[in-house]
Every structure is written in C-alpha cells, then in structure tokens.
Amino acid sequence: MSPNASISRKLREFYDAVQEEGIPDRFLDLLERLDHAERNAKSVDAK
C-alpha cells in the first residue's frame, strides 16, 4: 500500500469509528423540543 493510501485508510477508519457511535440521545431530545416549540408557536399563530 502506498503511503497516501495508508493515510487515507486510517483517516476513514477514524472518521467512521465516530460515525458509528450513532446519534447521542441529547440531540434526539433537542430536536423533539425544537419540534414541539415550533408546533406550539404555529398553532398559536393560527388562532
């Protein structure tokens, strides 16, 4: 393997390892809260 290929592979391994950790719950909670806040605001607007 050429040095460049070896560097590229390690970079992807490192990056993929983080991606494979998935999405932490705090972000799912945050999106839920944002979604709720927006829905409430819109239903108030509609009245």
Partner 1 sequence: MSKEEDNDDRIFKRDLLASLPNLRAFAVSLTGRHDKADDLVQDTIMKAWANQKSFTAGTNMRAWLFTILRNEFYSQMRKRGREVQDSDGLFSERFSVHPEQYGRLDLQDFRAALDKLPDDQREAIVLVGAAGFAYEEAAEICGCAVGTIKSRVSRARTRLQELLGVSGEVDYGPDAGDAAITSRAFGG
Return residues touching partner 1 (CB under 8 A): 2-4, 6-8, 10-24, 26-27, 30-31, 34-35, 38-39, 42-43, 46
Task: Provide the token pair at 39.
Answer: 């829905």
Coil, strand or helix at 26: helix
Using CA of residue 11, residue 13, residue 18, residue 23, what is the dihedral sign? positive
**Smallest distance from partner 1 to CB 1, Å:** 9
- Cite the beta strand spans of the chain per DSSP E: none
**Smallest distance from partner 1 to CB 22, Å:** 6
**Smallest distance from partner 1 to CB 7, Å:** 5
